[in-house]
Structure 1
Amino acid sequence: MKSAEVRELAVGEIEKKLRDTRDELLQMHLRKETGQVERPHLIRELRRDIARIETIHREKLRAK
């Protein structure tokens, strides 16, 4: 997910996106442990997406 896409979202939508992305990362980690992960590079991308979303979320909260 691009930063510009996240910046367009409202704070509530960002929080929902953050929860969903964290859940997806958890599922990827579980699949990795059982050997069922098809695209392991997505784990790194999800971690970076989470960091990007958290950063923008903090920026929006401080701007208020």
Structure 2
Amino acid sequence: MKAADARALTADQLKEELAKLKKEQFNLRFQKATGQLEKSSRVQEVRRDIARVKTIARQKAAEAKA
């Protein structure tokens, strides 16, 4: 997910996206533990996407507060 895409989302949509990414991260960790992970780079991509969504959500909350 690009930062521009995430900025276009509302706060509720960001929460939903974060939940989806966390679920995917869990599934990827489970696949890695069982040796079924095919694309290991996806773990890092998801981790960065989670950080990106959290950052943008925090920025939107600060803007709304100000």
Looking at structure 2, the residues matched to 15 and 9 of structure 1 have their Cα atoms a distance apart, in angstroms, of: 10
Aligned match of 1:15: 15
| Runs of at least 5 residues in structure 1 that lack an aligned partner in the other structure | none
Name the SS of the counterpart of 1:55 in structure 2.
helix
CA displacement at 1:5 relative to structure 2: 0.1
User: In angstroms, what is the RMSD of aligned CA positions?
Assistant: 0.4
Structure 1: 4+ residue segments shifted above 2 A: none
**Partner AA of 2:27 in structure 1:** Q
Aligned match of 2:48: 48
Aligned length: 64
**Partner AA of 2:41 in structure 1:** H
> Taking structure 1 as the reference length, what is the TM-score of the superposition?
0.98
| Runs of at least 5 residues in structure 2 that lack an aligned partner in the other structure | none
> Taking structure 2 as the reference length, what is the TM-score of the superposition?
0.95
